[in-house]
Amino acid sequence: MSNPAMTEHPTNEPALRLLLNAQVYGPQALGRQNLLLGGGKILWMGIDTPDLPAQLPVETIDLQGRRLIPGLIDGHVHVTGGGGEAGFRTRVPAPMLSRYTRAGVTSVVGLLGTDDLARGTRELVAGIYALREEGLNAWGYCGGYHLPPTTLTGSVRGDVVFIEPLIGVGEIAISDHRSSQPTLDELLKLASEAHVAGLMTNKAGIVHLHLGDGPRGLELVRQALDISELPARVFNPTHVNRRKALFEEAVELARRGCHVDLTAFPVEEGEDAWTAEEALIRYLDSGAPPERISVSSDAGGCLACFDEHGRMCGMGVGESGALLDCLNAVLARGVDLERALPAFTLNPARLLRLPGKGLIAAGADADLVALDVNGAAFDVFIAGRAHLRDGAVLRRGNFEA
């Protein structure tokens, strides 16, 4: 267990916070509102200032008309670090707490990638618990790129049922030279394990699928939908904007009931890919169900490129800050905030079955982000506790400089 005395956390948190003059997007536009926070929840919201007893310890914060949105949900994060495709020196370190909160991210879902051997489910669960102790909302997936998936209990169903933070399996790689080349039967068995575990626990119970550059694209998922009784929502492909043709396949799968996920990675001019902002606009304009799209960052992951021999020829590192960058880029293209925001908040909350997340309403969790005029996170509250105030970091992880 970490020593609380070692953390840079304020010890004088008020029991109640009153936020005044917030321009609320919950994610729908609700106009100027006042909110009372307490016990980790939004206790009340309204246009009038509540008459509270003078004896109550209340901190009042005037947001001066700033936009107040639900905390962003980053559904694809390498909380223990990713990478390793070009030797142990290319293993990416784990991101620290404020890397998330400075980006307006209040909830993350952690996972393993290519390296699901040197890094395993034990380390992942420990990393999730550490982030929770530091005040972040965190869950995770058992498994990694390869089959059979790495687990704690010996099965996906056992992990999801008995390990509280684990809500599904992923990121299982398909159409990628780094995958274990899963067959249709293997994918169906894996999906059935996740689905039944979700039924038993009311967790997400999904298979989060890494999509590579391979020409087979989403063929395996289409076949699974064609021949099985499994609900389409169980299959959750990500990185679907990495090729333009793959994106079109993903839109059609969304029409069939799958929830598809975009990755906010950099795209070079002339590359056969869509930026997350371009893909999100195209998706919203396509007429596909708007509730079946989300955007994640791949934070802490290795954004690798490979030559024709499968050797890594370059790498970057995903950052949670890419989510706000993407959202602001979409807004700059003329999309209304209430239309763009669900892909970063309410949509992943519903897919992941995280009640109280992704919305602003009385009774919801007090995970809130106030944006400055440039769209950066100005104030961040998680369960009503301040992590950022006036753009300054108040809470840091134990080992942050």
Quick check: is 400 in a domain?
no
pLDDT at 49: 87
The verdict on 55 and 201 lying in the same domain is: no
Quick check: is 401 in a domain?
no
- State the Cα–Cα distance between residues 355 and 137, nearest whole angstrom: 12
- Whether residue 386 contacts residue 379, with contact meaning beta carbons closer than 8 Å, is answered with yes
**Model's pTM, two decimal places?**
0.93
The verdict on 240 and 331 lying in the same domain is: yes
Contacts of 135 (CB under 8 A, 6+ apart): 9, 97, 382, 383, 385, 387, 395
The verdict on 25 and 104 lying in the same domain is: no
Bridge partners (DSSP) listed for residue 61: 19
The verdict on 130 and 276 lying in the same domain is: yes
Residue length, the chain? Answer: 401
| pLDDT tens per residue across all 401 residues of the chain | 333 333 444 557 888 999 999 999 999 999 999 999 999 999 999 999 888 888 888 999 999 999 999 999 999 999 998 876 667 777 878 899 999 999 999 999 999 998 888 889 999 999 999 999 999 999 999 999 999 999 999 999 999 999 999 999 999 999 999 999 999 999 999 999 999 999 999 999 999 999 999 999 999 999 999 999 999 999 999 999 999 999 999 999 999 999 999 999 989 888 999 999 999 999 999 999 999 999 999 998 766 566 666 776 666 667 889 999 999 999 999 999 999 999 999 999 999 999 999 999 999 999 999 999 999 999 999 999 999 999 999 999 988 87
> Catalytic residue numbers?
298
- State the Cα–Cα distance between residues 360 and 71, nearest whole angstrom: 9
Quick check: is 54 in a domain?
yes
- Whether residue 213 contacts residue 243, with contact meaning beta carbons closer than 8 Å, is answered with yes
Quick check: is 186 in a domain?
yes
pLDDT at 1: 33
- The residue among 172, 222, 231 whose CA lies nearest residue 198 is 231
Give residue 209's domain range.
72-351
The verdict on 53 and 129 lying in the same domain is: no
Write the single-letter amino acid at 104: G
CATH number, domain with residue 63: 2.30.40.10
CATH number, domain with residue 298: 3.20.20.140
The verdict on 108 and 219 lying in the same domain is: yes
Q: Work out the angle between the directed axes of helices 244-255 and 219-227 (0-180°, nearest 10).
A: 20
Quick check: is 399 in a domain?
no
Order of all β-strands in the sheet with 166-174: 72-77, 105-110, 137-142, 166-174, 206-211, 235-238
The verdict on 166 and 267 lying in the same domain is: yes
- Whether residue 343 contacts residue 323, with contact meaning beta carbons closer than 8 Å, is answered with no
The verdict on 272 and 125 lying in the same domain is: yes
pLDDT at 3: 36
Quick check: is 240 in a domain?
yes
3-state SS class at 350: helix
The verdict on 36 and 185 lying in the same domain is: no
The verdict on 259 and 189 lying in the same domain is: yes
Quick check: is 398 in a domain?
no
Quick check: is 265 in a domain?
yes
The verdict on 101 and 117 lying in the same domain is: yes
The verdict on 301 and 179 lying in the same domain is: yes
pLDDT at 101: 97
Domains held by the chain: number: 2
